[in-house]
Amino acid sequence: MPAHSIFDTLSDTRKRETLAGINVMRFPPGQVLFRAGEHCQGLPLVIKGGVKVQMTGASGHSIVLYRMTADDICTLSIGCLMTGRGYRAEAVVEEDTEAVMIPRPLFDQLMEQSPDFRLGIMESYGRRLDDLMLLVEEVAFHRMDERLEEWLLARASQGQKVLSITHQELGVELGTAREVISRLLKELERKQRVRLARGKIELTGLLCQQGVA
Amino acid sequence: MPAHSIFDTLSDTRKRETLAGINVMRFPPGQVLFRAGEHCQGLPLVIKGGVKVQMTGASGHSIVLYRMTADDICTLSIGCLMTGRGYRAEAVVEEDTEAVMIPRPLFDQLMEQSPDFRLGIMESYGRRLDDLMLLVEEVAFHRMDERLEEWLLARASQGQKVLSITHQELGVELGTAREVISRLLKELERKQRVRLARGKIELTGLLCQQGVA
DNA sequence: GGAGGTTCAGTGATAAAGTCACACTCGGAT
DNA sequence: ATCCGAGTGTGACTTTATCACTGAACCTCC
């Protein structure tokens, strides 16, 4: 039985009733859930998997804003749903993902009837605002070399030792240019913290050790 | 009768009943509504005035995230209210401001009973997310000289020709250092777009013309 | 009105980051 | 084997950030 924890607080019959009309969708990596400008059809709940949300600004550059993983709510969609405006960002699946789409009427109904559903939505919103505020601070004030190391470290702590990612993609992650990433990675290679290959970054030495801890 | 448009959809008796228990508070410029780390006591609704919300990052630098004006809802507070975490930002009054504070129980009650109240909250959240996403893009990819001109232009279009603001404060607005602002302003002065004085920036020439249009 | 202190602004030197242009190289595909 | 495109390396230059310091404007207190 596919589920999202926001339904856990509903009674069993209520839950069955709610989930009756909606079906789980599966998405492969690379699939685009929504694009900038598109209109929102409902509220996506991620059951499992991973989705990155990124935007491309007026400047033509892109930056990853945040990620959704298992049990997440696509908060961004709520705003679009309410105001009727199109998405400002796009969502790209990174790992095989299962999600359900809550249509507007059901969303309204749940908001009306379930205090816990409301709480879940509000909490999710709060977290997202926090994420974005931290991102602003990060982008505005942190050095790129530190941000890059932190990013790699975060991956290392998930147990990944060899990352399959291009410098260009890393540039989008951190909101900078490919050349900047290339130079910083070369510098890290000189410091024996990574080994580089085409499309791959192997974490070694301190970067890897710390990641395990 | 002080009011916030989010109450407009309530029936007159309902509205009277709701507003009975809460009283309008007045704040002078400079007053701090909340600080980073403090806990949220309720949901502030701005009746009139102006409040800026800014955060100071781990780096020790500050940046203005957004502003609240008449009829705004302090969306940030909802997240804090729901999760119980402290504020990550601080709110500073800029103009004489009137606000009401909705205590948690009343907030919960309105969320349960009024679809329009829910809609208003959700819309407000959506706008805030949008604001922050645009800010990320702006900070990450736009040139500082353009951002500065846009900021000045936005003030000009509100009819202000002489701004009372220090370079330091402008640095916080745009998330950069005072020296950077000083140099860019000097450059604008050379281009006859502003006249500078201690604590003042007078908009002239194109910058002013465009502002009026 | 001056002395002294504080806030604000200007500027040079240097480092970090972004931009532009172009060369090279690795891995398929034909 | 050759070709081609995606990925990477790098020099030259611009923009922005940081550090250190100077000087100017304003305030307060005699």
Which pLDDT score, from 0 to 100, does residue B182 have? Answer: 98
Q: How far is Cα B78 from Cα B87, in angstroms, rounded to an integer?
A: 10
Which pLDDT score, from 0 to 100, does residue A209 have? Answer: 59
Question: A-contacting residues of B 52-71, CB under 8 Å?
Answer: 55, 57-59, 61, 63, 65
Per-residue pLDDT reduced to its tens digit, B63-86: 999 999 999 999 999 999 998 899
Which residues in chain A belong to E strands, given as ranges?
Answer: 25-27, 32-34, 42-56, 62-69, 90-103, 162-164, 194-197, 200-203
The model's confidence at residue B127, banded by pLDDT at 50, 70 and 90, is very high
List phi, psi (to 5°) of A34: -155, 155
List phi, psi (to 5°) of A70: -50, 135
Query: How far, in whole angstroms, is CA B29 from its chain's centroid?
Result: 13
Query: In which order are the strands placed within the sheet that holds A194-197?
Result: A162-164, A200-203, A194-197
Query: Closest CA to D15 C1' — which residue?
Result: B143
Per-residue pLDDT reduced to its tens digit, B33-53: 999 999 999 999 999 999 999
User: What residue type is B112 in one-letter code?
Assistant: E
Asked if A42 contacts A103 with a C-beta cutoff of 8 angstroms, the reply is yes
Per-residue pLDDT reduced to its tens digit, A87-143: 999 999 999 999 999 999 999 999 999 999 999 999 999 999 999 999 999 999 999
Angle at A22 between CA A21 and CA A23, to 5 degrees: 125
Asked if B194 contacts B185 with a C-beta cutoff of 8 angstroms, the reply is yes
Q: Where on strand D do bases come within 7 A of a protein Cβ? A: 6-12, 15-20, 25-26
Q: Does A19 or B24 have the greater pLDDT score?
A: B24
Flag if A132 and B127 touch (Cβ within 8 Å): no
The answer to whether the beta carbon of residue A196 comes closer than 7 angstroms to any atom of strand D is yes
The answer on pLDDT for A77 being more than 70 is yes
Which pLDDT score, from 0 to 100, does residue A213 have? Answer: 46
CA dist A132 → A69, A135, A139, A161 (Å): 16, 5, 10, 28
Which of A115, A125, A142 lies closest to B78 in CB terms?
A125
Which pLDDT score, from 0 to 100, does residue A212 have? Answer: 47
The model's confidence at residue B11, banded by pLDDT at 50, 70 and 90, is confident
- Pairing label, strands A25-27, A90-103: antiparallel
Q: How far is Cα A174 from Cα B164, in angstroms, rounded to an integer?
A: 35
Nearest to A197 by CA among A206, A205, A208, A186: A186
The answer on pLDDT for A207 being more than 70 is no
The model's confidence at residue B213, banded by pLDDT at 50, 70 and 90, is very low
- For the segment A67-85, the average pLDDT, to the nearest whole number, is 94
Task: Return the structure tokens found at A66.
Answer: 């945040």
Q: How far is Cα B135 from Cα A31, in angstroms, rounded to an integer?
A: 27
Longest dimension (CA), chain A: 61
Q: Where on strand C do bases come within 7 A of a protein Cβ? A: 7-13, 16-21, 26-27
Helices (H), chain B: 12-20, 75-83, 104-113, 115-141, 144-156, 167-174, 178-190, 205-212
- For the segment B169-192, the average pLDDT, to the nearest whole number, is 97
Cβ-Cβ pairs closer than 8 A, A with B, add up to 140
Which of A79, A118, A141 lies closest to B129 in CB terms?
A79
Q: How far is Cα B27 from Cα B100, in angstroms, rounded to an integer?
A: 11
Mean pLDDT of all residues in chain B?
92
The model's confidence at residue A160, banded by pLDDT at 50, 70 and 90, is confident
Asked if A56 contacts A36 with a C-beta cutoff of 8 angstroms, the reply is yes
Q: How far is the CA of A119 from the C1' of D9 (A)?
A: 51
- DSSP state, B73? B
